[in-house]
Amino acid sequence: MSELKNKIYDIINKTLLIEKDKINDSLSMNDVEEWDSMAHLIIVSEIEQTFEIILEDDDIPEMTSVANILTTLGKYEVG
């Protein structure tokens, strides 16, 4: 697992209290009841702090799954 993916899994684990072995790239807001709008903002904030970036407003609503988060972060050349 890449360092980037590992950090994202850690953020999801910490924020949503999901066991790390249950997290995969296809995990999305639709799969996790606790991943509501407030949890989403916490995930975004944790990502910004971890990678020392500021996400563009247009990117935030698109980050609805682990795969989408990883794709979005590719634009920022983090990891």
3-class DSSP state for residue 42?
Answer: helix
Per 3-state DSSP, the chain is made up of helix, strand and coil in percentages (nearest 5) of: 60, 5, 40
Question: Would you tell me which CATH number, out of the four given (1.10.1760.20, 1.10.1200.10, 3.40.50.2300, 3.40.50.150), belongs to the domain 3-74?
Answer: 1.10.1200.10
Banded pLDDT at 78 (limits 50, 70, 90): confident
List Cα–Cα distances, 22 to 4, 9, 12, 15, 19, in angstroms.
17, 10, 11, 14, 5
| Per-residue pLDDT tens over the stretch 20-67 | 999 999 999 999 999 999 999 999 999 999 999 999 999 999 999 999
Whether 44 contacts 9, CB under 8 Å? no
Structural tokens at position 49:
């702090």
